[in-house]
Structure 1
Amino acid sequence: MVSPPSPSTSTPSALTWSMTPLRHRLSRSMPPWRRKAIRRSDSPWGQQPSRGGLPGGRRGARSPYSNESGSWLIGPSWLYVLAAIVIFAAAAAVAVVQATGSDDSGEPDALQATSVGPADGIGESQQPASAEPNGTEAAQPAQQTQSVEQSTEPRQPVSEAQAQAQAEQAEAAVEQEQADEEEIAPEPEADNPLRGFVIPIAGACITEFPGHLPGSPRVYRNDGVHEGLDFYEWASCTAVRYETEILAAKAGVVIRADLDYVDITPADWDRFISANWEGEEILDELRGRQVWIDHGRGIVSRYAHLSAIAEGIAAGTEVRRGQVIGYPGESGQQEVYANPGTDVHLHFEIRVGDGWLGQGETSESARRLYLEAFGLAD
């Protein structure tokens, strides 16, 4: 048996070792007992088939990877071969991935395709690219796709001609609505002749002073009563002066207009006192200059104590509701000659047949009847 070399045996330097050929390195560095041990090792790489079919035979064919002495190479050359195989496998894997694409790279493209709206012209391709249809989705009818395509059609931009036509239609509708509002509305509750009146002085209110309401006593008239409404500036919420316009309370036909009226004198006043204020003629003179308007169905409105009558107003003239017919004054009163300008007002009546609105009622009830006629009742 060959004994191992002694520790004192000299070892070649690293430079000498690297410059020595491989076969000489193996033969010189390994003792015979080591080379035999390698040949006899259990490594499958060292068991090369021999010519006689037995592994490890000395007479076996020499492998291209063995040295001259027949041992298998286990040095750096084998590591080079193994590294080349690993690099080749990695390169092949990268090539396969680039050719087929990964799951992550395909999914965003599919999602991007489904997010594109119909304005881009691809609304019909809104199916996920990475999802395979299951049995239920595969059985859906073809008209579902058609309905999706049809639903995108109304979203197409409207042409300029259509937009202009729509704008013209909207403008025409607004103009028609304004025309309807400006048109004079029919008088409300036309079936009731005591409805649809307006207050004869714009902005005025119905006084609550009892002496200005229908039914108020007039002692100087031989226990007579007041038969209408009085509109004085201090009690009617608005100015009542010579220049204030008096309006027709309702449409109708003028049946009286005292265009040739002459103011009373002190002699006339003495005559009234001598007659004890009796008689319809005296009462009519006390109302001064007047305009009467017939509204039909026995309803007549009277406007008394006028200072003047509006131009164009005469008997037989048709007037509309709200038309100017005259101006307030104090005609028929003693103040017209004794103290002019101190009793300017309008006396207004609604006559019903031979009577007057509020006749036989209390002053408060008569006031409410006028509020209803003016459409101001609660």
Structure 2
Amino acid sequence: MKQRNLGRTGPVSSAIGLGCMGMSDLYGPADEQEGIATIHAALDAGITLLDTGDFYGMGHNEMLIREALRGRQREQVQISVKFGALRDIDGNWIGMDNRPQAVKNFLAYSLRRLGTDHIDIYRPARLDTSVPIEDTIGAIADQIKAGHVKHIGLSEVGVDTIRRAHAVHPIADLQIEYSLLSRGIEKEILATCRELGIGITAYGVLSRGLISGHWQADRAVTVNDFRARSPRFTPENLKHNLELTEALRKFAAAKNATPAQIAIAWVAAQGDDIVPLVGARRRERLSESLGATEVVLNKDDLARLDQLFPVGVAAGDRYATQVMAHLDSEAQH
């Protein structure tokens, strides 16, 4: 597995990271033992970056990672944790809390659930508009001094917030959606991160499975699956988006690859400062995703993909309207 630096000040990571959310939450039923086996397979393949959130399954995902890392060498893994999202007993989203005292509280719980004495990259999941970002970052910086956190990251914030946060403490990476269907960061955010030496951990590289090549128009979606409320999966948008997937399938066949492998390889090809996060929940999907590291996209390939997937080509926003309204990354461009 090749490695990449997460920004000028961040850790060295595997060139692909594993997003663990779907093993616990938001994509319908998941098999816990298969999730653990998938993490084991990822570690054995050289993946070192595991991404989670303390609100994924209300802490279940952190405990799953703890179990998966039992008997493994902690220093060979980077654990990235998002915090701050508030949920009620039914799993509904009820706000953000990024106050300095909340940072201490969330971190203490995460350390206990993960069974570790430090988190490698700690980041607010979204901007809390009631709390100055300087206060949140300062509170995490205090935890770095205490030895409980190694690096600070951000998630789904715009250029003004990035600059303000970075002025308080060096930011290792920005976690944000980036894919053939979601290219909004190319307008301002990516250039700002590069100017400041901040890496990118890209999630949603397969657009929640939409461009994986495995999604079918008639697939049933359970009520607790995020995609049941995603604009890109509504009947009126899905037909158009799956036509894009078919174009990707034809391109991939000519490269002896799968659509998922091309989609992941495209994100990785956008710069050595970008680490795609693959959200594989099963070993077979992980194995396919790892094949992306063998895909070489030349200039002609990249130009053709730009033609097939120009900015704004997807039908539907990446989140529902009410969620988009709270994304700092979307508000500034």
TM-score by length of 2: 0.21
TM-score by length of 1: 0.19
Rg larger in structure = 1
